[in-house]
Amino acid sequence: MFGLKANRHLTRELAITPPPAELSRHGIAIVACVKNEASYIEEWVRFHQAVGVRHFHIYEDGSTDGTREVLQRALKPEELTVVPWKLRMRDEESGEFLNGQTIAFAHAILNFGGRYDRMAFIDVDEFLLPKKGRTLEEALRGAGGFPNISLPWHMFGHSGHVSRPAGPVCLNYKMRVSDPMQQNLDASNFKCIVDPVEVTKVGVHHFQTRSYGDRTANDAGKVVPRNKRKAAEFYSAEFVQLNHYYAKSIEELKEKTDRGWSFDGSTAKYRNKVATTIRYIETNVVEDRGMLEFIDKNGIDLGQ
């Protein structure tokens, strides 16, 4: 690979030809890469089912804790697709890992995208909270039908928990970073909801579409080029808020960093990144009860 930049993962961006739309396409699907998430994934599934997600495409990275079995109990066969996803490949010349998430997301669009009006690309510690309307489809109307929606992370910290508390994550953690658009690079990013039959380029945190290139909209329909997403005036969580329960308890965060990141070879690098991020969050927090109020108002059963 000529011109490879230091610390750049190969396949971070992939160009694709958009899939054709199926005549019966409808609804929203979620695509996620998971590994050993059995203790939390049922809550995540139940919440997103309750807000109208039609299907879950799970790229499963060799879990040993029963994650697949939890998913199969929580979802009907027509609601779940599990793709085995042990991706540990390096570029021979540079030694760099291929970016397994990007490849998974591109695979999902190419193989399944024609079935849905929208696909959301998030992790199991991220929740899509409708702020207007009862369902995601209702809330996404705020974006005016734009095919590439960028939602900023709302990063939640420990909320005072040393060890794992009883009950659901999204009810126990109420303290998040005060400014989702701040400039700490590890605590500020986006996840996307797209029209899959429009996507021409895939990344973990950004997409391009054939009609609008790298232009993206916030949840209220404000459209900007990708490089303007982090401007303060782009921020909105008026219709949909992306809650990222990043840290959980202090003990769980340590376990997370000791495991390392599934798609990176450097545990030390990952540990330092997480430590820097949580320090920033914990020194810039505000209480956010939006999730608790939504669950209470709508009587959502999270199964715990």
Q: Is residue 109 part of a domain?
A: yes
Residue 168 lies in a domain: yes
Asked if the structure places residue 1 within a domain, the reply is: no
Asked, for residue 2, whether it belongs to a domain, the answer is: no
In a domain, 25, yes or no: yes
Task: Classify residue 205: in a domain, yes or no.
Answer: yes
**60 lies in a domain?**
yes
Q: Residues of 265-284 as b/e, b for ≥16 C-beta within 10 angstroms?
A: eeeeebbebbeebbebbeeb
Q: Is residue 303 part of a domain?
A: no
* pLDDT value, residue 5: 42
The confidence score (pLDDT) of residue 185 equals: 58
What total number of domains does the chain contain? Answer: 1
Q: What is the mean pLDDT of each run of 10 residues along the chain (304 residues)?
A: 43 92 97 95 97 98 94 96 87 83 96 98 97 97 97 95 95 94 73 98 96 97 95 95 94 80 63 84 93 96 83
With a CB cutoff of 8 Å and minimum separation 6, the contacts of 251 are: 162, 163, 164
Q: How many Cβ atoms sit within 10 Å of the Cβ of residue 248? A: 23
Residue 284 is predicted with a pLDDT of 87
DSSP 254-303: HHHHHH--TT-S-HHHHHHHHHHHHHHHHTSEEE--HHHHHHHHHT----
pLDDT at 6: 41
Amino acid 264: pLDDT:
53
- pLDDT score at 274: 85
If we measure between CA atoms, which residue out of 102, 152, 40, 123 comes closest to residue 264? 102
Residue 179: which CATH number? 3.90.550
Question: Domain containing 182: what range?
Answer: 14-298
